[in-house]
Structure 1
Amino acid sequence: MRRLLLTLAVTCSATTTSANCGGKFDPFVSVLKQDARNLGYKETLLNNFFDQVSQDQKVLKADRNQGVFQKDFIAFSNALISQNRLTHAARNAAKYALAFQKVEQKFGIPPGVLLAFWAFETDFGANQGNFNTLNSLVTLAHDCRRPDLFRPQIFAALELFKRGEFDPVLTQGAWAGEIGMIQMLPEDILESGTDGDDDRQVDLQNSAPDALMSGGHMLNRLGWQANAPWLQEIELPANLDWSMTGLDKAYPVARWKSFGITARNGALHDTAGEASVLLPVGHKGPAFLAYPNFSVYFEWNQSLTYVTTAAYFATLLTGEPVYDARIPDQGLDGTQMKDLQRKLVGRGHDVGKVDGILGSKTRAAVQAEQSRLGLPSDAWPTPELLNRI
Structure 2
Amino acid sequence: MPRKRSTLALTAFALGAFAALTTQPVTAQAAQCGGDFRQFLAGVKQEAVSMGLSARVADQVLSGAQIDRKVLSRDRAQGVFKLDFLTFSKRAISGYRLKNGAAKMKKYSGVFSRAKQDYGVPAPVITAFWALETDFGAVQGDFNTVNALATLAHDCRRPQLFRPQLIAAIHMAQNGDLDPRTMQGAWAGEIGQVQMLPEDIVKFGKDGDGDGHVNLKASSPDAILTAASFIKHLGWRKGEPWLQEVIMPGRFAWETTGLGRTKSGKDWARMGVKARSGKISNLPASLILPQGRKGPAFLAYPNYNIYLEWNQSFIYTTTAAYFATRLAGAPVYKAGNPDKGLTDAQMKQLQSKLAARGYDVGKIDGILGSGTRNATQAVQQKLGMPADGWPTPALLAKL
Give the TM-score category using the shorter length.
over 0.9
Q: Does 1:244 align with 2:246?
A: no
Q: What corresponds to 2:298 in structure 1? A: 288
Is 92-101 or 332-341 further displaced after alignment?
A: 332-341
Q: Does 1:316 align with 2:334?
A: no
Q: Unaligned 5+ residue runs, structure 2?
A: none
State the one-letter code of the partner of 2:111.
Answer: A
Contact 1:173 1:180 in 2 (8 A): yes
Q: Secondary structure at the match of 2:230?
A: helix
Q: What corresponds to 1:75 in structure 2? A: 87
Q: What corresponds to 2:163 in structure 1? A: 151
State the one-letter code of the partner of 1:2.
Answer: K
* TM superposition score normalised by structure 2: 0.90
Equivalences for residues 123-162 of structure 1 within 5 A = 123-162=135-174
2:275 to 240, 252, 263: 263
Q: Secondary structure at the match of 1:17?
A: helix
Q: What corresponds to 1:32 in structure 2? A: 44
Relative to 1, partners in 2 of residues 1:18 and 1:252: Cα closer, same or farther, differing over 3 Å? closer
Q: What corresponds to 2:346 in structure 1? A: 336
2:312 to 289, 298, 302: 302
State the one-letter code of the partner of 2:292.
Answer: G
CA shift for structure 1 position 84: 1.3
Contact 1:14 1:39 in 2 (8 A): no
CA shift for structure 1 position 22: 5.1
2:238 to 226, 233, 237: 226
CA shift for structure 1 position 145: 4.3
2:388 to 365, 378, 383: 378
Is 354-363 or 314-323 further displaced after alignment?
A: 354-363
Q: What corresponds to 1:253 in structure 2? A: 265
State the one-letter code of the partner of 1:124.
Answer: F
Q: What corresponds to 2:106 in structure 1? A: 94
State the one-letter code of the partner of 2:349.
Answer: D
**CA deviation profile, 1:202-253 (whole Å, cap 9, x unmatched):** 2111111111011111111111111110000001123221111111111111
Q: Secondary structure at the match of 2:81?
A: helix
Equivalences for residues 117-128 of structure 1 within 5 A = 117-128=129-140
* TM superposition score normalised by structure 1: 0.92
Relative to 1, partners in 2 of residues 1:338 and 1:21: Cα closer, same or farther, differing over 3 Å? farther
1:191 to 203, 228, 232: 203
Q: Which runs of 4+ in 1 moved over 6 A?
A: none
Q: Unaligned 5+ residue runs, structure 1?
A: none
Contact 2:31 2:159 in 1 (8 A): no
CA shift for structure 1 position 168: 2.2
Is 212-221 or 29-38 further displaced after alignment?
A: 29-38
Distance of 2:376 and 2:202 partners within structure 1: 40
CA shift for structure 1 position 2: 2.0
Distance of 1:193 and 1:236 partners within structure 2: 42
**CA deviation profile, 1:242-284 (whole Å, cap 9, x unmatched):** 11111111111111111111101121112xx210001111111
**CA deviation profile, 1:58-107 (whole Å, cap 9, x unmatched):** 22333344446210111111111111111211221221111112211211
Relative to 1, partners in 2 of residues 1:141 and 1:225: Cα closer, same or farther, differing over 3 Å? same
State the one-letter code of the partner of 2:5.
Answer: R
State the one-letter code of the partner of 2:301.
Answer: Y
Q: Secondary structure at the match of 2:368?
A: coil
Contact 1:243 1:377 in 2 (8 A): yes
Q: Secondary structure at the match of 1:233?
A: strand
Distance of 1:361 and 1:38 partners within structure 2: 43
Relative to 1, partners in 2 of residues 1:15 and 1:351: Cα closer, same or farther, differing over 3 Å? farther
State the one-letter code of the partner of 1:326.
Answer: G
Distance of 2:377 and 2:79 partners within structure 1: 23
Distance of 2:84 and 2:135 partners within structure 1: 22
Distance of 2:170 and 2:345 partners within structure 1: 42
Distance of 2:288 and 2:81 partners within structure 1: 18
Contact 1:202 1:210 in 2 (8 A): yes
Distance of 2:298 and 2:27 partners within structure 1: 42
Relative to 1, partners in 2 of residues 1:258 and 1:24: Cα closer, same or farther, differing over 3 Å? farther
Q: What corresponds to 1:105 in structure 2? A: 117
Tell me the number of residue pairs that the alignment of Structure 1 and Structure 2 aligns: 387
CA shift for structure 1 position 330: 0.9
Contact 2:191 2:197 in 1 (8 A): yes
**CA deviation profile, 1:103-130 (whole Å, cap 9, x unmatched):** 1121111111111111111111111111
Aligned-CA RMSD value: 2.2
Relative to 1, partners in 2 of residues 1:157 and 1:237: Cα closer, same or farther, differing over 3 Å? same
